[in-house]
């Protein structure tokens, strides 16, 4: 029996919705494997591998695998004044919008936006410390996701790493000895954002470091803009109490602070360098700044986030809107879901986490629904996919990370796994 025509088979699965060349690829693979009937499944697999919206019911607010902070991006197909000065009619700078607004919100003299926080640290070191010493506590030589390590980032910048102290204890005197011996360009303070060392420990704060006469660069990582959280009417949540904030770190004497845009800031993936105007300007002039700069879509989304902070409108930032929801509100939504799903779905109190390598070990009380058994695979196959967690033989759907408008999606998804 002759195999079917590749083109005919591709046209037969056109309803999958992929462009014809991708359908042809799936048809060829299926025919080559001797299983033409598998072409549809292969094409559907390609479609599901593409970027698409999902419902995050895991309770992890900044889920790295799901894009961290949820950000709404919508723009008409128009040009923008990305690098055009409307006042003069001449070429402008893409650093004047989101960066300037974030600087204002954080109490910094100036700021610069790059494509992620690792890039921000790399640029600072390359611009300010090439061929010179940078002093770091051994307890802060961290590894972030993907295996990237602070010493390796420093090596790429051509700065010279000087380690002081021990893994669990570093004193001000350790830094003072290094300052006297190595004439460092910078003291680098790295926040242990994705782990904790407890017990017999000691660390030196930014205020004490700033008294040593060397510019202090503090990588606070998570991007909490202000410890007072003036954008929340309810005040600072208890779970951010130990998290360093950009405004307070600058007030303590840091010359520069670097942080992420897509973590506690609640914006798109970006890295921000904020602080002294002269140092920010040196970073902006470095050749790496052009290679590391973000595009207009990211800057537009970050600008919207910064404007929300300046308006003190936490509800306009999805991360903070979700994080601040009272448990009774979540529980009421859970009861509504459960009441329409029958006895197999029950209301549960659960615990959400900030995620994204922030405030490790701390939890946020939450509520959701649970179903006996592991239904994670079926729910992932739903359209749109629903991502859940499984604990003690039960499938948990934590509503803190689900927009209320998606409760109807959850109801249909739960009905599909009955």
* Residue ranges per structural domain of the chain: 55-70+325-416, 94-317
- CA pair distance 69, 117, nearest whole angstrom: 15
Q: How far is CA 228 from CA 51, 233, 241, 272, in A?
A: 36, 11, 10, 20
Given a cut of 80, whether residue 264 has pLDDT beyond it is: yes
CB-count exposure of residue 328 (10 Å: 0-12, 13-18, 19+): exposed
Specify the DSSP class assigned to residue 180.
H
Contacts of 407 (CB under 8 A, 6+ apart): 333, 336, 337, 399
CATH 3.90.1150.180 assigned to 55-70+325-416: yes
Residue 46 β-bridge partners: none
CB 10 within 8 A of CB 26: yes
**How is domain 94-317 classified at the CATH fold level?**
3.40.640
pLDDT digits (tens, 9 = 90+) for 101-147: 999 999 999 999 999 999 999 999 999 999 999 999 988 887 766 55
Of 358 and 85, more confident: 85
- What pLDDT score does 289 carry? 95
Dihedral sign computed on CA atoms, order 273, 274, 280, 284: positive
Torsion angle of C-alpha atoms 365, 385, 268, 334, degrees rounded to 10: -20
Position 407 scores a pLDDT of 96
- Quick one: pLDDT at residue 196? 63
Residue 398 has pLDDT above 80, yes or no: yes
The pLDDT of residue 203 is 84
Beta-carbon contacts of residue 195 (< 8 Å; ≥ 6 apart): 142, 360
- What is the reported pLDDT for 72? 81
CA neighbor of 403 nearest in space, from 341, 346, 333, 345? 333
pLDDT tens across 282-338, in order? 999 999 999 999 999 999 999 999 999 999 999 999 999 999 999 999 999 999 999
Q: How confident is the model over 46-73, as pLDDT tens digits?
A: 999 999 999 999 999 999 999 999 998 7
Sign of the alpha-carbon dihedral angle for 252, 225, 168, 152:
negative
Confidence at 217, pLDDT banded by 50, 70, 90 = very high
Confidence class for position 242, pLDDT limits 50, 70, 90 = confident
| pTM given for the model | 0.92
């Amino acid at each position: 029996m002759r195999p079917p025509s590749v083109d005919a088979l591709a046209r037969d699965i056109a309803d999958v919705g992929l462009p014809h060349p991708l359908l042809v690829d799936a048809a060829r693979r299926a025919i080559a494997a001797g299983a033409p009937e598998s072409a549809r499944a292969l094409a559907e697999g390609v479609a599901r591998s593409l970027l698409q919206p999902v419902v995050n019911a895991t309770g992890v607010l900044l889920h790295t695998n799901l894009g961290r902070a949820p950000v709404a991006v919508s723009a008409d197909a128009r040009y923008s004044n990305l690098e055009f000065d409307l006042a003069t009619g001449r070429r402008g700078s893409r650093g004047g919008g989101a960066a300037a607004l974030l600087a204002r919100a954080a109490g910094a003299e100036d700021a610069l936006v790059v494509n992620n926080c690792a890039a921000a640290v790399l640029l600072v070191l390359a611009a300010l410390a090439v061929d010179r010493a940078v002093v770091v506590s051994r307890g802060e030589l961290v590894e972030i996701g993907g295996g990237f390590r602070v010493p390796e980032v420093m090596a790429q910048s051509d700065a010279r790493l000087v380690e002081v102290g021990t893994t669990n204890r570093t004193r001000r005197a350790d830094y003072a000895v290094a300052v006297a011996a190595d004439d460092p360009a910078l003291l680098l303070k790295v926040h242990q954002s994705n782990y904790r060392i407890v017990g017999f420990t000691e660390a030196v704060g930014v205020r004490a470091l700033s008294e040593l006469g060397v510019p202090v660069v503090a990588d606070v990582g998570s991007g909490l803009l202000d410890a007072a959280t003036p954008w929340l009417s309810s005040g600072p949540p208890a779970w951010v109490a130990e998290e360093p904030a950009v405004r307070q770190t600058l007030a303590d004497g840091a010359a520069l602070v670097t942080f992420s845009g897509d973590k506690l800031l609640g914006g798109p993936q970006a890295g921000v360098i904020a602080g002294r105007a002269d140092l920010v300007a040196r970073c902006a002039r470095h050749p790496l700044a052009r290679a590391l700069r973000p595009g207009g879509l990211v800057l537009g989304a970050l600008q919207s986030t910064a404007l929300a902070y300046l308006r003190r409108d936490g509800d306009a930032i999805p991360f903070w809107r979700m994080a601040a929801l009272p448990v009774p509100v979540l529980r009421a939504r859970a009861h509504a879901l459960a009441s329409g799903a029958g006895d197999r779905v029950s209301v549960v109190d659960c615990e959400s986490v900030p995620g994204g390598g922030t405030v490790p070990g701390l939890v946020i009380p939450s509520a959701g629904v649970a179903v006996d058994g592991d239904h994670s695979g079926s729910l992932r196959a739903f359209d749109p996919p629903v991502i859940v967690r499984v604990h003690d033989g039960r499938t948990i759907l934590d509503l803190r990370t689900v927009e209320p408008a998606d409760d109807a999606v959850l109801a249909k998804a739960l009905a599909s796994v009955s």
